Amino acid sequence: MVKALSPENEYSYDFFKDSTSNRFQGSSFKAIGNQNKVEGDWATVGGTGVFTFAQGNISIRRIHSWNKLSRANTINPVTTQSLEYNRNLYMHQTIDGPYHNQVNIADPKQPLLFGYTNVHDYSIYDGLGPSAKIVARAQGLHTETCMDDDDWFHWSSIVFTDKRFGGSSLKAIGNQNKVQGEWAIVGGTGVFRFAQGTISIYRIQGDWFSNIKEIRISAFCPKIGQQYY
């Protein structure tokens, strides 16, 4: 089963067995990530069957010749070192106006916006004020999932654009209201492969049309040795 989460480049996939083999029949990987027309990188965030508790990465490359097929690999549970990432950043949300960074894609016309869904591409800065620089973007979806309160479910890929972590990303899901929220980090790519942790969110400035939210990232990334099969 393939499910596209946005019209551009955020995907969620179920990966099932090879139809010619019974070795992993009925088992699956769950993966989310970004991809353009040429390449992509998805984080494996779980699995079923023999792949229960799976973590890892799936790198995607478009090929023009069968001679360029690469060898698959799996990960064995040997931790050699780890990376911890703890940082406060500032996410800018602009709901309306010429510089908006979210667009509505579903409106079922229910009370309290229940089911209302937006796709977003929020800029994330390293500080406040005119000297702050964009270091990442939060790209994904958020949906009003509570019928009697303000509570939005978010699915975001935190894609870093700075020199140190450029091209790496954190995959996060969680709930958020107008004031605060907390997302679970369920995976990552690049230097954040196998990431787990939390992102706490607090609105520090804003109104209905524009908000600045402090995001407190606490991520742990074990480094796992590779074993080929």
Per-residue pLDDT of 5-44, as tens digits, reads 333 344 455 554 444 467 888 888 888 888 888 888 888 8
Q: How far apart are CA 87 and CA 165, in angstroms?
A: 13
Calculate what percentage of the chain has a pLDDT beyond 90.
55
Is the pTM here over 0.85, yes or no? no
pLDDT, mean of residues 136-149:
96
Calculate what percentage of the chain has a pLDDT beyond 70.
81
Q: How far apart are CA 10 and CA 206, in angstroms?
A: 27
Contact 48, 27 (CB under 8 A): yes
The residue with tokens 């600045």 is 212
pLDDT at residue 37 in the model:
84
Per-residue pLDDT of 146-163, as tens digits, reads 999 989 999 999 999 999
The model's confidence at residue 3, banded by pLDDT at 50, 70 and 90, is very low
Long-range contacts made by residues 181-185, C-beta under 8 angstroms, separation at least 24?
Answer: 181/152, 181/154, 183/154, 183/156, 185/217, 185/219
Selection from 52, 45, 49 nearest residue 194 by Cα: 45
- The structure tokens listed for 121 are 């591409």
Q: Hey, what CATH topology would domain 83-223 get?
A: AOC barrel-like (2.40.480)
* DSSP tally for the chain: helices H, then strands E: 0, 14
The model's confidence at residue 64, banded by pLDDT at 50, 70 and 90, is low
Q: How far apart are CA 125 and CA 133, in angstroms?
A: 5
Q: How far apart are CA 14 and CA 40, in angstroms?
A: 16
Q: Is 5 helix (H, G, I), strand (E, B) or coil?
A: coil
The pLDDT of residue 74 is above 70: no
Selection from 45, 69, 39, 70 nearest residue 57 by Cα: 45
Q: How far apart are CA 213 and CA 159, in angstroms?
A: 17
pLDDT at residue 156 in the model:
96
Average of per-residue pLDDT values in the chain: 83
Main-chain dihedrals φ then ψ at residue 144, nearest 5 degrees: -75, 110
pLDDT at residue 218 in the model:
96
Q: Would you give the distance in Å from CA 88 to the centre of its chain?
A: 18
Contact 173, 183 (CB under 8 A): yes
Q: Residue ranges of the domains in the chain?
A: 2-81, 83-223
Q: With left for phi above 0 and alpha for psi between -120 and 50, is residue 170 left, alpha or beta?
A: beta
The pLDDT of residue 182 is above 90: yes
pLDDT at residue 29 in the model:
86
- The structure tokens listed for 14 are 């179920």
Per-residue pLDDT of 191-215, as tens digits, reads 999 899 999 999 999 887 899 999 9
Beta-sheet strand order (sheet of 10-15): 2-4, 10-15, 28-35, 39-48, 56-61
